[in-house]
Chains A and B, each alone.
Chain A
């Protein structure tokens, strides 16, 4: 039986993460060209783009998740598929009854 989540809409979290994401993007693009040039220096500067996208994954990911929930678009929780324990088969080799 399918039923949708009946949690209240996370408007507060949406606004908080939306503001943080907007601040991050605004701050980044204010110096976007310089930062991009710096990160493209290679070598240990490789940590720059990697760390930046992980940060954006968290901030913007949380914002996006809460935004869809606030707009009323959330998953339908069907019966979760039963995860069958894989059966161990008996040994194929003949057993010597000495």
Chain B
């Protein structure tokens, strides 16, 4: 094969620190993904960019690691009886449309307000969705914990399931029957959010739980099917444009394929409300992180004035708190797995 030289504007030089960082973040991101069905992407893309990787290559490479990770996680959780493939594929179809609409919206905003405007839009989306949805999920997780960990179908979901609107679809795996028309907006919203903040599951998983009435364990597992489909489609698109840095992808996968399986195993050790608890915790911390990044974009757009030193500090705290979100999530996951194992060993003896 001809030895081509790497285009330095697209591909960074790899050193030991970069490799270690990507492997570790890949592992932790995988752990969280395997457990709650999404996550990791929002740290990996800015993480790669902090190593000097251009934005488009970071997004493309992240996506190219996401779909194999989701595939491995989905297969593992399918074996535990947690994946509703039919639901995943139906939702993936509307999510695909949502992704295209989301990309279009991004392009319009980029054309109208430039990069700073686009970054502001992305960050505002983060904050709005994560605070609203994360707060609701946290409230529900605490309620579930107080009721002994048993989940209840929401009144909204029960009401929607009763509405006979053709075509009605049976989902025997999830134990529900609902009109296609109520699955479409959840899938569509997942796609739009994925195109905007790279994590569609933050609306997809709660949407499946609270709008459609899918149990939390199955919603987080089924989300992996949607993530696989969206990720594969997006990756092919990026690869056609030559934007994937396969070296970064393989390093991240080195960690994430270990993590995602551990996270999947972890779901069998914990009570169902823990998935909501971990998801909500991560969402709320990331909301704070993105909130801290807002002033930077407001200053760039001339809507606010702040000294450079303050902006620099906010940027660092924002990135650190994003990493903290993942760390806290993984500590909760590993801690509850540890407790689960101890309880199991105690029951067996």
Chain A residues engaging chain B, CB cutoff 8 angstroms? 2-4, 25, 28-29, 32-43, 45-50, 52-54, 56-57, 60-61, 64-65, 67-68, 73-78, 80-87, 89, 92
Q: Is the CB of A40 within 8 A of B11?
A: yes
28 intermolecular pairs with C-beta atoms under 8 Å apart:
A3-B348, A28-B250, A32-B247, A33-B5, A36-B245, A37-B5, A38-B1, A41-B242, A42-B241, A46-B239, A48-B239, A50-B64, A50-B232, A50-B235, A50-B236, A52-B246, A53-B64, A53-B68, A56-B257, A57-B71, A60-B254, A64-B258, A75-B268, A76-B340, A77-B268, A83-B172, A85-B172, A86-B177
Q: What is the CA–CA distance of A28 and B246 in the complex, to the nearest angstrom?
A: 10
Q: What is the CA–CA distance of A85 and B177 in the complex, to the nearest angstrom?
A: 9
Residue of A53, A64, A81 touching B175 (CB-CB under 8 A): A81
Q: How many A-B residue pairs have CB under 8 A?
A: 148
Closest Cβ–Cβ distance, residue B218 to chain A (whole Å): 8
Chain B residues engaging chain A, CB cutoff 8 angstroms? 1-7, 10-11, 14, 64-65, 67-68, 71-72, 75-76, 80-81, 164, 170-177, 215, 217-218, 232, 235-236, 239-247, 249-250, 253-254, 257-258, 261-262, 264-265, 268-269, 340, 344, 347-348
Q: Which residues of B contact A53 (CB under 8 A)?
A: 64-65, 67-68, 246, 249-250, 253
Q: Which residues of A contact B10 (CB under 8 A)?
A: 40
Q: Label chain A's interface by main secondary structure.
A: helix
Q: What is the CA–CA distance of A95 and B4 in the complex, to the nearest angstrom?
A: 74
Q: What is the CA–CA distance of A35 and B135 in the complex, to the nearest angstrom?
A: 45
Q: What is the CA–CA distance of A40 and B7 in the complex, to the nearest angstrom?
A: 9
Q: Which residues of A contact B268 (CB under 8 A)?
A: 75-78
Q: Which residues of B contact A60 (CB under 8 A)?
A: 253-254, 257
Q: Is the CB of A82 within 8 A of B175?
A: yes
Q: Is the CB of A39 within 8 A of B244?
A: yes
Q: Is the CB of A68 within 8 A of B241?
A: no
